[in-house]
């Protein structure tokens, strides 16, 4: 009888701990014109599987008492290694046919941050961003310097051909052809890229510590050493325990011009907006200067939002119960079978 009561008590306490535990991870795999009619059930299955694998990897870090920064890294490295997303393997091509990668990370408990931009040989740029944050006095490193640092830090370097996928190569050919037409008609020099796939994650541990990270190949057909919002602290990534953790995806120039990630944090911290309202209002500001994309936001109590003003955004979340939820189009998130 005593054993039975003790057992019941322990189950109850565990249940309460789970209910009280705000630990959460939210991820995105890019926003854009994601049309249901153009995605086969098989491709949808692959995205769902990759997103839920990333969620489970980040959740395992948090459940094991790991740092939110490491949960963010665990989720993002899985998406970088997947050819489905525009980050790491499967990154989009520059106009010159290269893969130039950007990534950033921020620790909300200290506001320490790290970023790399325009790197071409670092297999997992998010690991380099974390190394910049934790093992250097700097916040941002670019190009060959960032690669030399990554080598010294013992990170895996690869031949640039590692990042290439045939699908992204074809997208570049289409973009180049499309741009030719646009230029002939005096249109904008930058064609609207409809196939994105930047990845990002925001994490919260049981103690109210936040972290955020973002990784991308940028925009198809980008030129002249162009760098977008993803590696810019305050534009593509932000984390502060006093407000929110944010990761963005979309037309990077407009996200930089809106200080998107920091704008959300400011709205929450100074104007008292909820994470969802702050994300909606920031997307409105971005739309007002012809930008589009999406944002994931998480506060220290576990309130979160996944907002986008495009047709779809690959996205997902997982809480202390360890059950991943994912969404692709405008539908409410659906649970993924274990």
Question: Smallest distance from the beta carbon of 237 to ligand ASP, in angstroms?
Answer: 11
How many residues line the site for ligand ASP (CB under 6 A)?
13
**Which of residues 109 and 171 has its CB atom nearest to ligand ASP in the complex?**
171
Q: Does 30 bind ligand ASP (CB under 6 A)?
A: yes
Residue nearest to ligand ASP (CB): 252
Nearest to 311 by CA among 335, 334, 289, 327: 327
In the β-sheet with 112-119, what is the strand arrangement from edge to edge?
Answer: 140-142, 112-119, 101-107, 210-216, 199-204, 24-32, 312-319, 325-327, 334-335
Question: Smallest distance from the beta carbon of 228 to ligand ASP, in angstroms?
Answer: 2
| Touching ligand ASP, residues 201-230 (CB under 6 A) | 216, 218-219, 228-230
Q: Does 196 bind ligand ASP (CB under 6 A)?
A: yes
User: Reduced to 3 states, what is the DSSP secondary structure of residue 110?
Assistant: coil
Taking CB under 6 A as the criterion, the residue among 109, 198, 221, 247 binding ligand ASP is 198
107 sits in which H/E element: strand 101-107
Q: Does 234 bind ligand ASP (CB under 6 A)?
A: no
What residue has token string 């692709």? Answer: 328
| Touching ligand ASP, residues 44-103 (CB under 6 A) | none
> Does 317 qualify as catalytic in the annotation?
no
Residue 172: CA count within 13 A, CB half-sphere: 23
Question: Smallest distance from the beta carbon of 89 to ligand ASP, in angstroms?
Answer: 16
User: Reduced to 3 states, what is the DSSP secondary structure of residue 236?
Assistant: coil
Point out which residues pair with 238 in neighbouring strands: 246
Distance CA 86, CA 92 (A): 6
Q: Which residues bind ligand ASP (CB under 6 A)?
A: 30, 196, 198, 216, 218-219, 228-230, 249-250, 252, 293
Give me the active site residues, please: 198
């Amino acid at each position: 009888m005593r054993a039975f009561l003790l057992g019941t008590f322990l189950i109850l306490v565990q249940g309460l701990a789970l209910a009280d535990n705000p630990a959460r991870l939210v991820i995105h795999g890019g926003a854009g014109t994601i049309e249901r009619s153009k995605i086969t059930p098989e491709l949808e299955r692959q995205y769902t599987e990759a997103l839920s694998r990333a969620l489970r990897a980040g959740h395992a870090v948090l459940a094991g008492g790991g740092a939110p920064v490491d949960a963010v890294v665990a989720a993002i490295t899985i998406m970088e290694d997947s050819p489905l997303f525009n980050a790491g393997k499967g990154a989009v091509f520059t106009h010159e046919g290269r893969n130039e990668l950007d990534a950033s990370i921020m620790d909300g408990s200290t506001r320490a941050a790290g970023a790399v931009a325009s790197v071409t040989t670092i297999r997992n740029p998010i690991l380099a961003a974390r190394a910049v944050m934790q093992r250097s006095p700097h916040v941002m490193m670019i190009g060959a310097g960032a690669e030399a640092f990554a080598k010294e830090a013992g990170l895996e370097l690869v031949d640039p051909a590692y990042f290439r996928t045939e699908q992204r190569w074809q997208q570049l050919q289409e973009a180049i052809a499309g741009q030719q037409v646009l230029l002939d008609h005096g249109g904008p020099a930058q064609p609207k890229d409809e196939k994105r796939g930047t990845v990002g994650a925001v994490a919260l541990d049981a103690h109210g510590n936040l972290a955020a990270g973002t990784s991308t190949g940028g925009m198809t057909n980008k030129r002249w050493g162009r760098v977008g919002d993803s590696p810019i602290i305050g534009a593509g990534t932000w984390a502060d325990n006093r407000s929110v953790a944010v990761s963005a995806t979309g037309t990077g120039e407009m996200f930089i011009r809106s200080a998107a990630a920091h704008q959300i944090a400011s709205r929450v911290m100074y104007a008292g907006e909820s994470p969802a309202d702050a994300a909606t209002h920031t997307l409105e500001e971005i739309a007002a200067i012809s930008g589009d994309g999406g944002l994931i936001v998480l506060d220290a109590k576990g309130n979160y939002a996944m907002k986008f003003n495009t047709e779809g955004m690959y996205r997902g979340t997982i809480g202390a119960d360890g059950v991943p939820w994912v969404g692709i189009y405008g539908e409410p998130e659906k649970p993924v079978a274990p």
